[in-house]
Amino acid sequence: MAKGNINVSVENIFPLIKKFLYSDHEIFLRELVSNATDATLKLKHLTNIGEAKVEYGNPMIEIKIDKENKTLHIIDQGIGMTEEEVQKYINEVAFSGAEDFISKHKDAEKEGIIGHFGLGFYSSFMVADKVEIITKSYTDTPAVRWSCDGSPQFDLGPSDKTDRGTEIILHIAEDSVEFLEEYKIRELLLKYNRFMPVPIKFGTKEETLPLPEGADKDAKPEKVTVDNIINNPNPAWTKSPSELKDEDYKAFYHELYPMQFDEPLFYIHLNVDYPFHLTGILFFPKLGNNINIEKDKIQLYQNQVFVTDEVKGIVPDFLMLLRGVIDSPDIPLNVSRSYLQADGAVKKISSYITKKVADKMVSLMNENREDYEKKWNDIKVVIEYGMISEDKFFEKSDKFALYPTVDGVYYTFDELKDKIKNNQTDKEGKLVILYASNINEQDQYIQTAKSKGYEVLLLDSPIVPHLIQKLETSKENISFVRVDADHINNLIKKEEETTSILSEDEKEALKKELEETIDSKTYTIALENLGRDDAPFMLTQPEFMRRMKDMQQTGGGMYGMMGNFPEMYNLVVNTNSPLASEILSKEDKTDKAQIIKQALDLAKLSQNILKGKDLTDFIKRSFEMIK
Percent of the chain with pLDDT over 70: 84
- From the list 490, 295, 25, the residue with the least C-alpha distance to 482 is 490
pLDDT value for 473: 92
Beta bridge partners of 138: none
pLDDT value for 237: 95
pLDDT of residue 248 exceeding 70, the answer is: yes
CB crowding 164-202: b at 16 or more within 10 Å, else e: bbbbbbbbbbeebeebbeeeebeebbeebbbbbbbbbbb
pLDDT value for 612: 87
pLDDT in tens, 455-496: 999 999 888 989 999 999 999 999 999 998 888 888 888 877
Beta bridge partners of 573: 527, 537
> CA-CA distance, 60 to 47, in Å (whole number)?
16
Percent of the chain with pLDDT over 90: 43
pLDDT value for 620: 85
Q: Report in angstroms the alpha-carbon separations of 86 from 15, 123, 335.
A: 22, 17, 21
Mode of pairing for the β-strands spanning 537-540 and 569-574 = antiparallel
- From the list 567, 554, 462, 470, the residue with the least C-alpha distance to 521 is 567
The three-class DSSP label of residue 78 is coil
Q: Report in angstroms the alpha-carbon separations of 123 from 22, 27, 32, 97, 193.
A: 7, 8, 8, 15, 16
pLDDT in tens, 510-565: 888 888 888 878 888 888 888 777 788 888 877 666 677 666 665 554 444 444 55
pLDDT band at 571; cut points 50, 70, 90: confident
Least confident of 233-237, 326-330, 436-440: 326-330
Mode of pairing for the β-strands spanning 456-458 and 431-436 = parallel
pLDDT, mean over the chain: 84
Q: Which amino acid is located at 231 in the chain?
A: N
> CA-CA distance, 482 to 491, in Å (whole number)?
9
Residue 337 in marked binding region: yes
Least confident of 67-76, 259-268, 447-456: 259-268
Least confident of 425-434, 445-454, 618-627: 618-627
> CA-CA distance, 586 to 582, in Å (whole number)?
6
* Domains (range + CATH), the chain: 12-204 (3.30.565.10), 236-367 (3.30.230.80), 402-491 (3.40.50.11260), 504-555+565-626 (1.20.120.790)
The three-class DSSP label of residue 243 is helix
pLDDT value for 78: 94
What is the number of other CB atoms lying within 10 angstroms of the CB of residue 420? 20
Are the C-beta atoms of 85 and 142 separated by less than 8 Å? no
Residue 97 in marked binding region: yes
Q: Report in angstroms the alpha-carbon separations of 175 from 17, 29, 65, 70, 568.
A: 16, 16, 17, 12, 62
According to DSSP, residue 18 is labeled I
pLDDT value for 289: 65
According to DSSP, residue 258 is labeled T
The three-class DSSP label of residue 525 is strand
Helices (H), 237-313: 246-256
> CA-CA distance, 357 to 282, in Å (whole number)?
9
pLDDT of residue 12 exceeding 60, the answer is: no
Residue 96 in marked binding region: yes
pLDDT value for 309: 83
> CA-CA distance, 535 to 604, in Å (whole number)?
13
DSSP 543-582: HHHHHHHHHHHTT-GGGGGS-PPP--EEEEEETTSHHHHH
> CA-CA distance, 273 to 250, in Å (whole number)?
25
By CB neighbour count within 10 A (0-12 exposed, 13-18 middle, 19+ buried), where does 218 fall?
Answer: exposed
> CA-CA distance, 27 to 127, in Å (whole number)?
10
Give 370-379's long-range contacts (Cβ < 8 A, gap of 24+): 372/400, 372/402, 373/402, 373/404, 373/410, 375/265, 375/266, 375/284, 376/402, 376/404, 376/410, 377/288, 378/265, 378/284, 378/285, 378/286, 378/287, 378/288, 379/265, 379/284, 379/287
pLDDT value for 373: 96
What is the number of other CB atoms lying within 10 angstroms of the CB of residue 604? 20
pLDDT in tens, 266-310: 999 998 887 788 999 999 988 766 666 566 789 988 889 888 888
- Could you give phi then psi for residue 25, rounded to 5 degrees? -60, -30
pLDDT value for 188: 94
Residue 81 in marked binding region: yes
Q: Between 68 and 9, where is the model more confident? A: 68
Q: Between 327 and 150, where is the model more confident? A: 327
Beta bridge partners of 538: 572
Q: Which strands make up the sheet holding 323-327, listed edge to edge?
A: 266-272, 278-284, 323-327, 299-302, 305-308
> CA-CA distance, 555 to 291, in Å (whole number)?
12
pLDDT value for 113: 42
Are the C-beta atoms of 542 and 570 separated by less than 8 Å? yes
- From the list 203, 86, 200, 204, the residue with the least C-alpha distance to 146 is 86
pLDDT band at 611; cut points 50, 70, 90: confident
pLDDT of residue 95 exceeding 60, the answer is: no
pLDDT of residue 15 exceeding 80, the answer is: no
pLDDT in tens, 184-239: 999 999 998 999 999 999 999 988 888 777 777 777 888 889 999 999 999 999 99
Prior bond of 210 cis (ω within 30°): no
Least confident of 47-56, 118-127, 241-250, 581-590: 118-127
Rounded to two decimals, what is the model's pTM? 0.76
Per-residue pLDDT averaged across 56-63, rounded? 94
pLDDT value for 118: 45
Cα torsion angle, 290, 187, 190, 133, sign: positive
pLDDT value for 523: 85
> CA-CA distance, 410 to 431, in Å (whole number)?
18
pLDDT band at 171; cut points 50, 70, 90: very high
The three-state DSSP-derived secondary structure of 121-165 is HHHHHHCEEEEEEEEECCCCCCCEEEEECCCCEEEEEECCCCCCE
pLDDT in tens, 16-29: 555 445 557 888 89
